[in-house]
Structure 1
Amino acid sequence: MSLQKLARELDETARQTASMLEGITEAIELLSERPLSVEPSVRQAIQMIVTALQGQDRIEQRCHNMALAVRQFALLPPTAPDSVYDEIWASLTLDELRVPSLSGIAAQRSTGDAELF
């Protein structure tokens, strides 16, 4: 698979996760209507869904950042030094992609809560 194709697939993954939100957003609106929304279990369910939506947003951002990095990698000559690749990673906006010590950190620890920001 070429790096350009990989970048397109990452962008498509981001697009697909974003399109899932339409139905979920409609469900939140239904749950938020009174008198349902005063029920504690409904409020808790709404908060759980909102947290999941924030997690999706983070996944979408990660995919777009990785696609950007892959596109930049594709432009590099095969002889490019590792420092050039490091500069590309360092230019990304999400800390867990930009800061080497945070790379893959979500797989190393879990508190049971969503890792969002």
Structure 2
Amino acid sequence: MRRVEEERAVGQWRDWLIDLEGGDAVLPWNEIIKITLEDVLMFSTGTNRIPPHGFDELPTLGFLHADKERRQFPEANTCGLILRLPIHSSYEKFNEYMISGVVQSPHFGIP
């Protein structure tokens, strides 16, 4: 069951990145919130640019499995370069919580 959920989350992640790049990732209530791939990189790694010599560690994806309650928003470990994706049954929910999670993150004080 976990494998199926993770494969669905990876598919949603890929679709979301494509929508994000094309400017089509918006919240379902039609609120116009612009986020960029750089915003996602900042959320995931703590920097909005890939360093000239790359990262010391390769960024990785993880998944937010929870036995009793689901964690709805993405989580990032910027020291370990790990982005943990939430598990949602629909792309619409995945989109909503990914955008909200990135927008609500503190961005380390950088606008």
For normalisation by structure 2, the TM-score amounts to: 0.29
Q: Which protein is bigger by CA-based radius of gyration?
A: 1
Judging by fraction of residues, say which structure has more helix: 1
For normalisation by structure 1, the TM-score amounts to: 0.28
Higher relative contact order (CA 8 A, sep 6+): 1
